[in-house]
A and B are shown apart, each in its own frame.
Chain A
Amino acid sequence: MSEPRRFWGTEAASGLALISPTAIYAILLLAAPLATTLLYSVFTDGYLVVEPTLTGQNYVDAWTNPVVQSVMMRSLMVSMLVTAATVILAYPVAYFVSFNIAPDKKGLWLFLITIPFWTSYVIRVFMWNVMLGRTGVINSALIGSGVIDTPFDLSFSVQAMVVTLAHAYAPFAILPIYVALEKIDRSLLEAGQDLGETRWTTFLRVTLPLSMSGVVAAVLIVFIPVIGDYVTPNLVGGGKFPMIANIIEKLMLKSDNRPLGSAIAASAMLIVALVSLLFIFLNRRYLRATK
């Protein structure tokens, strides 16, 4: 600004002044701590202290350690499975609410879908432990009613973790897909059918491509928190199948190796960003079309 007096009172100044409390808070409590984590990840771990000597060793350790590798692979696998299951199962529900429900009842249906998710997360996760166990609710109900003779055992397994997380993040997939479906101009579908497409081919060639922006949003909204989930591996996995968050906790607090923990945290952020960007890139055609 060559002339500060001109700056004050302008729209830019008013906007900056107005956003400053929130922005300063985010810079101090979010940007600065994240930057510190990145800095720690290239520092050396000393006894009880972190020494400010630059090194890339933490990243070498993080990426070559077989335990860390297996945890990373498990986290990726679980979150990809959960994301795929959640988004595929959620799509028809979003479609049904958007296309087959009268406009004045849509709000009620969305409300019905979101209600179960505003109850204690820890309890919701734990409920799957109670339900899927060998002597759990589902087994005892099925055996009691004579449907099965021998109980299935899903307690403390990766499968149970996937079911739990697919349940926990269901509305995060339904809502963005629903929003994208709502935006589709209904006359396009009629045009498709007038031009001789069947309902199914209209869906594949018109509805699905137009709703891909919602699917991409759903994938990201589910994938990111799931890969960082901490409660489910502990409660439903019984601590036997740790994921990224659990190993970060272990290194940062129990082993007090903050540089290595920071390097893993930074690597996790990098993986999340890369997977997200790759997914957006793969769908760029649809994202551009809907803008």
Chain B
Amino acid sequence: MKIPSLRIYTIAYLVFLYTPIVILPIFAFNNATVIAFPLRGFTTEWFVAVWNDAELHGALINSLIVAGSTSVLSTAFGVFAARASTRYSFPGKGPLMGLIMLPMVLPEMIMAMALLVVLLSLGVKLSLFTVILGHVLVCTPFSVAILTSAFQSLDKSLEEAAYDLGEGPVSTFRLVILPLVLPGIISSMLITFTISLDEFIISNFLKSGEELLSTYIYSKLRFPKYVPNIMALGTILVVISITLLALAEFFRRRGLAKTGAKDSGGFV
């Protein structure tokens, strides 16, 4: 029972969704500083400018440090919470899980300001470290969500078999559970890395002088002459994100195949 009008509508909707990221490369290679049609000709000038931008290199390195640390920390926190909530029942589970997942439904600005006020009144100096503290808070719920589905699809009898065969809790986790949820862990690390790389509000308010990728981009958008550079940078970022996501999806599917679960489709 196919309804062609629905298909046409969906394709039109996809066009709407994709318009900004299709426009991005078009003007990244356009030989004009004004972002408007008609196109003026092909150039790689903006990519060269981006490549040679020392300030951007610094911002990129800072962002990679933050995103790398965030993905490791929030995934580790995610493993603890997801394992505890899927395997055990304990008092206070609902409220604790609710608190851990709260950042998903809390405006980021409120979190950023609450953290900022506390950090400042404790005399903590703002740095990349404080940005990481905030990012871990935001990314952990995503990690918990991904890992919960990974732990849920685990067959409990595998674990019991390991105990029966004489393994302790730690070696059972390492030898049986970890290999089965490893794809979920990798997928969580890739997703949280991507979220951290893109995060703006917390980065903007919890950083000190040094720029991160998102705050660098934001600061440059005020100047029209930088806009073509941002188009080129955006194009590069689109390519990188799609690659990372394709990898995350690959690992997620492999994980599902390993545990024998049915694919329920997509992230989140």
What is A's interface to B at a CB cutoff of 8 Å? 11-16, 18-23, 25-27, 29-34, 36-37, 40, 89, 92-93, 95-97, 99-100, 106-107, 110-116, 118-124, 126-128, 130-131, 135-137, 139-141, 144, 167, 170, 175, 178, 182, 199, 220-221, 224-225, 227-228, 230-231, 235, 244-245, 248-249, 252-253, 258, 261-262, 265, 268-269, 272, 276
Contacts and interface: CB of A to CB of B under 8 A. Distances in A.
A14 B200 CA distance: 37
Contacts of A118: 194, 198, 241-242, 244-245
B131 interface: no
A92 B84 contact: no
Given A119-B234, A123-B24, A249-B109, 13 more contacts: A11-B88, A16-B84, A19-B97, A22-B140, A26-B96, A93-B13, A99-B1, A107-B253, A135-B36, A224-B107, A230-B108, A230-B109, A244-B107
A114 B267 contact: yes
B6 A228 contact: no
Contacts of B88: 11-12, 14-15, 18
Contact of A225 (B1, B108, B118): B108
B28 to A, nearest CB: 11
Interface of B: 1-3, 6-7, 9-10, 13-14, 16-21, 23-24, 27, 34-38, 76-78, 80-81, 83-85, 87-93, 96-97, 99-100, 102-103, 105-111, 113-118, 121, 133-134, 136-137, 140, 144, 194, 198, 200-201, 205, 213-214, 217-218, 221, 227, 230, 233-234, 237-238, 241-242, 244-245, 249, 253, 263-268
Given A11-B89, A93-B13, A122-B217, A21 B109 contact: no
Interface of B is mostly: helix
A115 B265 contact: no
Nearest to B143: A22
Contact of B34 (A135, A253, A269): A135
Contacts of A248: 109-110, 113
Given A19-B81, A19-B90, A123 B217 contact: yes
B109 A120 contact: no
Nearest to B100: A26
A30 B107 contact: no
A126 B264 CA distance: 34
